[in-house]
Structure 1
């Protein structure tokens, strides 16, 4: 996952110093350290390195900087091979309150990502539910700015659900909304309330929003196979989605498929009022005008659109309009352009064959 690699890359700025295990075991009463066959390397905190970059880092080292460094490594890479040893050390030292204070300080200073790493470290080492809740809050904030953290939000929300934290469902709902899975997002918000979560106005509004989006997504899946059912699903939602040009376009497509071109054009004009540059809406306008025999108006839309988006699909629509208008000269000119774009396009080949038959007659 992207965020995992991103956090691991943070370790490259740390300095690890080899520490005598016997001294640590003696001073901090951790006899288990002596059982480890591996050498012990402790990281200095990134803050200490940044502030003492020009100093000899092997002299006058406060042990607290190693403590911070170990939490930092545990957050940036929970699979780091010395994490079990770090856990023994940190659990025996009881410095988590200091690290929680550091997290608060970093967040106030708008260093959210650094704060996140220490929070992840706290959770990796101690697994406290309160830390997990704070972690989810911060991950949700970061997910708004950086999409890679949406993966982390989903992962730790699942962990919270496994630990029977109500908030897990709340934050999983948030993660799924980021991913565009509105129906599952709504399910987890309902689970949050069913299990005893507090129903606030914000949650109620969010559930109404998700229900609306889930219905639209359901409708989109059946638009072309069942336009009537699509309209039944989405038209009642339109008063709250009237500034949604994609929905207006889909409604127009449904009406076109039902051969109600007047209504299709009505909704297309509404969509253009929201977004005048929406390419698919402009294309649909041309298709509808062509369907009612107004080829001159259709040509205006297709010609304008083709000058901006030079696709073979738009060009073949334009060519057919010229043919239906009887302007075979323009049709031939645009067929030549089409051959430069994609000479093997099936529709273009059919048009060329049709043109040959017209000329023979």
Structure 2
């Protein structure tokens, strides 16, 4: 949803009344060059009609509410600058609109409350106003996910506006965590604390959990390039994620890459003790047994994995196990299976050429 357009649509709920520059001077004690259109929310007009009141006698409060509403719905509206000037000259207009915002929150009209609060921010850009905008947006986002971008935009504005402002980082942390961007979430919660945010037990628990998950994700990310560093991150996590079979699998992969096959097999067994149905673990077990030359055991595991996945990669691993144990009959049978699965696979082509060259 394009939120600028969405909020601009809210202007359909507003009636614009033309005021001459003389009337602007009379009503608001402000000099302008030309006439302007001043907003009144339609529900206010409807209520006056309903109760038989004189429309010629529109209360100042209607104009105040309308101008704040338009400023929030569309800050680039044609007469926004004039509205800011007018509202800045009206005594206690901020107190009045805060009361209207409170009424909207009490009646759960959160969208209206947010729009007027955003309008107030055009005049009173304080931490307190940002606090309330962010909390309101969090409430709205819980009901409608499309409010996320609006909340992130307000959070970013607040973070840039104040160097010592903690709260926006807490709510950005929550959003980034939901996006599975754990590094960014951890960065945000650390900033929240560094800028003076309260370290409640909940915040401490959030920070600790994000650190663990961030290490987990980083460990997986660097696994292929730096298995030693990956192990430094992943092994300590077994204290917290001891029932995570996948964690033991990644540790095993790192050890295999370091050619420590016995340790790899140990961690694969730990993984299978938790969950014996993870195909990747079964396949990895076969690969490690093949690496230590125990081809019979390797074939047992690889066949189990192949029966489930029909993966050409596992099939080629099986072929090489059969070749290494000189079982050429099964090697050729599985080569034909691999060709049927994917004759264009580069490993399949290499094995086929090897067989032809060696007349197997």
- Give the TM-score normalised by structure 1: 0.74
Match of 2:19 in 1: 20
Matches within 5 A, 1:279-318: 281-292=278-289, 293=295, 294-306=298-310, 314-318=311-315
* SS of residue in 2 equivalent to 1:125: coil
- Give the TM-score normalised by structure 2: 0.74
Are 2:255 and 1:263 aligned?
no
Q: Is the 8 A contact 1:252 1:267 kept in 2?
A: no
Task: Note closer, same or farther for the CA distance 1:166–1:296 as it changes in structure 2 (3 Å cut).
Answer: closer
Q: Is the 8 A contact 2:39 2:67 kept in 1?
A: yes
Q: Tell me how far apart the structure 2 counterparts of residues 41 and 199 of structure 1 sit (CA, whole Å).
A: 49
Write out per-residue CA displacement over residues 202-256 of structure 1, whole angstroms, 9 at most, x where no aligned residue: 2222222232233334323322222232222222222323455654442232233
Q: Is the 8 A contact 1:290 1:321 kept in 2?
A: no
Q: Is the 8 A contact 2:71 2:118 kept in 1?
A: yes
* SS of residue in 2 equivalent to 1:78: coil
Match of 1:120 in 2: 118
Write out per-residue CA displacement over residues 83-123 of structure 1, whole angstroms, 9 at most, x where no aligned residue: 21222233334443443344344444444344332322221
Q: Is the 8 A contact 2:10 2:73 kept in 1?
A: yes
- Superposition CA RMSD, Å: 3.7
Consecutive unaligned residues of structure 1, counting only runs of 5 or more, are 307-313
Greater C-alpha Rg = 2
Match of 2:206 in 1: 206
Match of 2:229 in 1: 229
Consecutive unaligned residues of structure 2, counting only runs of 5 or more, are 290-294, 323-329
Q: Tell me how far apart the structure 1 counterparts of residues 338 and 42 of structure 2 sit (CA, whole Å).
A: 64
Write out per-residue CA displacement over residues 265-285 of structure 1, whole angstroms, 9 at most, x where no aligned residue: 235426647xx6xxxx52343
Q: CA deviation at 1:185?
A: 4.1
Task: Note closer, same or farther for the CA distance 1:145–1:158 as it changes in structure 2 (3 Å cut).
Answer: same
Aligned length: 334
Task: Note closer, same or farther for the CA distance 1:77–1:315 as it changes in structure 2 (3 Å cut).
Answer: farther
Write out per-residue CA displacement over residues 157-201 of structure 1, whole angstroms, 9 at most, x where no aligned residue: 344343333434444444554454545544554444445443321
